[in-house]
Structure 1
Amino acid sequence: MYIPKYYQEHNMNKIKAFIHDHPFATIVSTAENGRPLATHLPILIHEDGESLILAGHFAKANPQWHTLEHSDEVLIIFQGPDAYVSSTWYGHEDVPTWDYQSIQVYGQPALLTEGEVKQDLIQLLNRFEKKDGARWDNLSEETLQQIHGVVGFHITVSEVFAAYKLSQNRNHTDYQNIIHHLEDEHNGVADAMKDEQD
């Protein structure tokens, strides 16, 4: 992933928080015929000692899960807010651009046993359900049987590339003006830019 120096993010605590806050990701792997495949799905992040683990599951009917059986490496993309930035918001003539936050993670995949899938699904429910929402122990046996229709995986993270392109190359006046215009559009990039100032 090409990231100009201005926009590189290396703080792993910020990166982990970003992944936690933007769990709907794209997993990309390669079929045996060389064709790239991609699926959009929720991903949870775990820490195992010094290792970062990403966890998710495919529908068993999705053929992409088979690629994990013979792949040494897969790519997972996490996308944050993005916005068009007009050149009229600068104090001088320049070209417009697009601001965004995105993280690309490479890692080694492994398929899970049914017991491991169950543990990951329990964590998924606990993470996203409200306090009085669904829990594993209050689901019907019929619903629980649907675990047989999914294939779980873990990705052991080997490399992370984080791009926070948030107009860091602009002077203070232009930067504040961009925030002002994006706030009018209720865009999450304005909040991300304010966070970068802190």
Structure 2
Amino acid sequence: MYLPSYFRVEEPALLHELMRQFGFATLVSVHEGLPFATHLPFVLDAEHSRLEAHMARANPQWSSLEANPEVLVIFQGDHSYISPTWYEKHPSVPTWNYVTVHAYGKARLVEEPQAVKALLHRLVQQYERVWDMDTLPPSYLEGMIRGIVAFEIEITRLEGKFKLSQNRPATDRRRVAEALSHSPNPAEQGIARRMLADLEER
């Protein structure tokens, strides 16, 4: 992606944090010669630089992953419209602030039944607070598993872009963060918090 130096984030801990917080991401691959995208929950195994997920067997995207294993997973975090009225100096134009991580890698299907169950357990443990997958009748669980295709992605490259008005003067950045902090929109409040934290670090 287009990545000016002042928006680039390379610290693995920051990228991994966003990937976990916004784990419902977009898988992009080439299917029958064209881009194909599916929105899926992912589990990050940072220790082994790996992502895990599954999709419906009826989804044709998985059938081309072996032939075209190079994939992109887009993790989209908080984002917000930025009004030029919040800047100190004029004329100015609107923009959009956002945080995102692009994970590039190679996909591999996971087909061994116990490995698939273990992958599903990790997914449930990440997102579930009450329900236990092991409470399902074994025959029902096996039927559900037959209806999905599990896969893992070996991460080969991470790109982080945290566009937080770093190209503007500090006074403008504080004015923008202050305006966003009063918004009822949680995503805009998230951008405000990130902007203020970034200002404190500089």
Please tell me the TM-score bracket, short chain as reference. over 0.9
1:148 maps to what in 2?
Answer: 146
CA distance in 2, matches of 1:194, 1:173: 12
C-alpha displacement at 1:58, in angstroms?
0.7
Return the match for 1:178 from 155, 176, 179.
176
Partner in structure 1 of residue 76 of structure 2: 79
1:115 counterpart = 2:117: no
Shift of the alpha carbon at 1:172?
1.8
Q: Which runs of 5+ in 2 are unaligned?
A: none
Is the 2:16–2:46 contact (alpha carbons within 8 Å) kept by the matching residues of 1? no
Of the three residues 131, 134, 137, the one matched with 1:137 is 134
Q: Residue 69 of structure 1 aligns to a residue in which SS?
A: coil
Q: Show structure 1 runs of 5+ residues with no match.
A: none
Look up the match of 1:66. 63
| Aligned-pair Cα RMSD in Å | 1.3
Looking at structure 2, the residues matched to 194 and 153 of structure 1 have their Cα atoms a distance apart, in angstroms, of 38
Q: Which runs of 4+ in 1 moved over 4 A?
A: none
Q: Output the TM-score relative to the length of structure 2.
A: 0.91
SS where residue 6 of structure 1 aligns? helix
- The answer for the alignment partner of 1:35 in structure 2 is 34
State the shift of 1:87 in Å. 0.8
Query: How far off its partner does 1:88 sit?
Result: 0.9
Equivalent of 2:197 in 187, 195, 198: 195
Q: Deviations over 1:47-102 (max 9, x none)?
A: 34xx4000000100100011211113101000001101011111111111100011
SS in 2 for 1:181: helix
In the aligned structure 1, how far is the partner of 2:168 from the partner of 2:20? 29
Alignment match, 1:13: 13
Identical counterparts, % of pairs: 37
Q: Which amino acid in the other structure matches residue 76 of structure 2?
A: Q
Residue number in structure 1 paired with 2:155: 157
Q: Distance in 2 between matches of 1:169 and 1:176?
A: 13
Could you tell me how far 1:106 is from its partner in structure 2? 0.7
1:86-125 pair list within 5 angstroms? 86-93=83-90, 94-113=92-111, 114-125=113-124
Structure-1 separation of matches of 2:69 and 2:15? 23
Number of residue pairs aligned between Structure 1 and Structure 2: 193
- 1:157-177, CA deviations, whole angstroms, 9 ceiling, x for partnerless residues? 011111000011222211111
Using the alignment, how far apart are the partners of 2:197 and 2:125 within structure 1?
Answer: 28
Shift of 1:154: 0.5
| CA positional deviation for 1:142 | 4.5
Tell me how far apart the structure 2 counterparts of residues 12 and 66 of structure 1 sit (CA, whole Å): 31
> Where does residue 3 of structure 2 map in the other structure?
3
Change (3 A) 1:89 1:35: same
